[in-house]
Structure 1
Amino acid sequence: MEFLADYAGFLARTVTLVVAIVVVLVFIAALRGKGRRKPSGQLQVSRMNDFYKGLRQRLEESLLDKDALKSLRKGEAKSEKAEKKGKKIPDAKPRVFVLDFDGDIKASATAGLRNEITALLTLATPKDEVVLRLESGGGMVHSYGLASSQLARIRQAGVPLTICIDKVAASGGYMMACIGEKIISAPFAILGSIGVVAQVPNVNRLLKKHDVDFEVLTAGEYKRTLTVFGENTEKGREKFQQDLDITHTLFKNFVASYRPQLAIDEIATGEVWLGVAAIDKKLVDQLMTSDEYLSERAKTAELYHLHYAERKSLQERVGLAASGSVDQLAVKWWGRLTQQRFW
């Protein structure tokens, strides 16, 4: 037992030393990085046609015998050679730029989306197409407003925009989706939720019960309409509801401007529909998965997947590993318990 106690003490001291060294190294890295320019990100581009071709060839290699496979490859090479010989200047295939947006409550993916759109607009023409694979249940009004504005840049440039939804595009997610000239949805994806919600808990009576005073001082009559700790008034509630109604009206007008075929007052109730029902409401134009749509486009167009990857410093990587999950939970729950407004 004495040996085990000595070993446990030694182990504890070793762990403490290792942790101390790591903390010192992170601190030194932070000091060295202070004042330096933050590392920039990088645009990653991959040709999706090669991906689809690779899938087909791998299946052929598994199913065909050696002679049949050899004959198939020889025929493909012969066809490609004949096509090149017959066309000294081959017709350029249309290009399809594929983007992804996986939205959280803060629409954090907007940071990469804006750079991807800026890059593709330097080359894209009305003969090309942008396909956005969108997944989002919505979030903060201002965050999804900015994300939607980024997509509007594509429409303003005259480049066709197609939105593909496999799982969900609700609330702020549908605000983004409606900008597409064509909306394609999986049969059981969730769409709609054109509404606004805000939740504000109030613990003022609890504080009073324990003789705790909480003062809210403002300069401006409506600087703070509802509070978490102070005493709320009926006038404040009315103003808060008025602000929500105004935001909802702006939301409806925005959607209607891009999809005038919608009976906006009928669908802007905060309800959601599955794809098979949403097509009858004209929330979507076609029922199909993104995989089906892109694999079909790959037969006649060149597909390029764009992803803007941020480079993170050492202290940023350590910080994310240590507190990323805690931060996400804090933002999610505190945001929903305060006066943040959500699409």
Structure 2
Amino acid sequence: MEFLTDYAGFMLKLVSVAIVIGVLLAMIASGKSKSRSGSLSVTKLNEGYDSMKAELNNQLLDKKALKEQAKAAKKQLKLEKKAQKKGGQKKDEQQETSKKRLYVLDFDGDIKASSVTTIREEITAVLSVARPEDEVVVRLESGGGVVHGYGLAASQLQRVKEANIPLTVCVDKVAASGGYMMACVADKIIAAPFAILGSIGVVAQVPNVHRLLDKGLIDVELHTAGRYKRTLTMLGKNTDEGREKFKQDLEDTHVLFKQFVSSQRPILDIDAIATGDTWYGSEALENKLVDAVMTSDSYLVSHYDNADVVQVAFKQPKGMAERFGLSVFSAFEQKAVSWISKVIQSRGY
């Protein structure tokens, strides 16, 4: 027993030293990563589509059909080269550089609109090279959230319009409340048949436990300078005046929301639409909330033949806590899986 106790103590010290070393290494790595501003990844979606198409043809077509297909492609390539020689190399280069590009960005919004930190970088990068004949396509998914967060996100999309670059927003699942605030900025909104859109309204909820605290003889003091510095509270006793001011703030925010949507989509009957209600894609088309009903996949595939479809994604460097937390969790997961496997093998399952 004495030996086991000493051994356990030694192992505990060893683990403690390993943890300290891991934390120090993570802090050093974090200091280095602060100088990094993130990385931009660019993926040409046409290539993936062509690769899948070729793979399916190889699996489904017989040798004769594949040979005929290759022959037709070769003939088409010869015709294109002949046309290039006839028109001159300079003309061909001009046609190549003038080929339209679709820049595809993804926005998956939470209640705080956290993705605005990445989409702002992506838009900055795209605007540095985009031309008026190009197009920015945002695949947007969000049920809404805080006003200031989605207001900033909508302003980022407005940068594209201010640069005179066509902007299309595709909604496959939901663009409601703050999500629709972003979507309405687009020149064109496309929604899947059962995507949810609308919810042009404002909501706020504040729990209050004052009566429970009062029963427990617990006093809560709140001191403010300014009549409306705090209208409703969670702990203190709320007043009718505070409630009225809180409701008025919601109404004022709703008015601003309606004005913004109307300025972006003047074809809407804003008083009929801005009730907080939502509509599915086909119903949204009838109410002029969207311009077409189709999935984002259908829209992008329709451009593969005549445009370069490029997905742009900005990735932020992970912080120390995140990297260290993930590494610890990964190590724990591996040990747990290994232990469970040994137990299963020992019992003959």
TM-score range, shorter-chain basis? Answer: 0.7 to 0.9
Separation in 1 of the partners of 2:12 and 2:75? 65
Is residue 2:284 matched to residue 1:278? yes
Separation in 2 of the partners of 1:133 and 1:64? 34
Give 2:157's match in structure 1, choosing from 134, 151, 159. Answer: 151
Separation in 2 of the partners of 1:260 and 1:219? 42
Equivalent residue for 1:81? 78
State the shift of 1:18 in Å. 3.3
Deviations 1:291-319 (A, max 9, x none): 00100011211111100011224443224
Equivalent residue for 2:38? 41
Instruction: Indicate the SS of the match to 2:227.
Output: coil
Q: How does 1:19-30 map to 2 (within 5 A)?
A: 21-30=18-27
Cα contact 2:170–2:296 (8 A) shared by 1: yes
RMSD: 2.5
How many residues are paired up?
Answer: 320
Q: Unmatched 5+ residue regions in structure 2? A: 330-349
Instruction: Indicate the SS of the match to 2:286.
Output: coil
Separation in 2 of the partners of 1:252 and 1:12? 67
Cα contact 2:33–2:317 (8 A) shared by 1: no
Deviations 1:112-156 (A, max 9, x none): 100110011111122111111000000111100000000000011
Instruction: Indicate the SS of the match to 2:145.
Output: coil
- Which deviates more, 193-202 or 64-73? 64-73
Cα contact 2:210–2:235 (8 A) shared by 1: yes
Equivalent residue for 2:125? 119
Cα contact 1:39–1:313 (8 A) shared by 2: no
Q: How does 1:217-296 map to 2 (within 5 A)?
A: 217-296=223-302
Cα contact 1:26–1:315 (8 A) shared by 2: no
Separation in 1 of the partners of 2:306 and 2:46? 10
Separation in 2 of the partners of 1:33 and 1:294? 39
Separation in 1 of the partners of 2:170 and 2:51? 23
Instruction: Indicate the SS of the match to 1:219.
Output: coil
Equivalent residue for 1:103? 109
Going from structure 1 to structure 2, the CA distance change for 1:15 and 1:38 (only over 3 Å counts) comes to: farther
Going from structure 1 to structure 2, the CA distance change for 1:32 and 1:98 (only over 3 Å counts) comes to: closer
Q: Unmatched 5+ residue regions in structure 1? A: 324-343
Equivalent residue for 2:339? none
Separation in 2 of the partners of 1:284 and 1:131? 15
Going from structure 1 to structure 2, the CA distance change for 1:34 and 1:307 (only over 3 Å counts) comes to: closer
> TM-score, normalized by length of structure 2?
0.85
Equivalent residue for 1:183? 189
State the shift of 1:96 in Å. 0.7
State the shift of 1:40 in Å. 1.6
Give 1:194's match in structure 2, choosing from 197, 200, 214. Answer: 200
Instruction: Indicate the SS of the match to 1:279.
Output: helix
> TM-score, normalized by length of structure 1?
0.87
State the shift of 1:12 in Å. 9.5
Separation in 1 of the partners of 2:176 and 2:135? 24
Going from structure 1 to structure 2, the CA distance change for 1:291 and 1:13 (only over 3 Å counts) comes to: farther
Cα contact 1:134–1:163 (8 A) shared by 2: yes
Going from structure 1 to structure 2, the CA distance change for 1:226 and 1:28 (only over 3 Å counts) comes to: same
Deviations 1:54-94 (A, max 9, x none): 12111101111223213312321331232133123332321
Q: Which protein is richer in helix relative to its size? A: 2
Aligned identity (percent) is 53
Going from structure 1 to structure 2, the CA distance change for 1:38 and 1:197 (only over 3 Å counts) comes to: farther
Separation in 1 of the partners of 2:184 and 2:47? 31
Separation in 2 of the partners of 1:19 and 1:305? 45
Separation in 1 of the partners of 2:193 and 2:33? 50
Going from structure 1 to structure 2, the CA distance change for 1:50 and 1:33 (only over 3 Å counts) comes to: closer
Cα contact 1:137–1:171 (8 A) shared by 2: yes
Separation in 2 of the partners of 1:36 and 1:285? 44
Letter in structure 2 aligned against 1:130: V
Is residue 2:18 matched to residue 1:18? no
- Which deviates more, 102-111 or 34-43? 34-43
Is residue 2:69 matched to residue 1:69? no
Going from structure 1 to structure 2, the CA distance change for 1:31 and 1:293 (only over 3 Å counts) comes to: closer
Letter in structure 1 aligned against 2:268: L
State the shift of 1:30 in Å. 1.6
Going from structure 1 to structure 2, the CA distance change for 1:78 and 1:33 (only over 3 Å counts) comes to: same
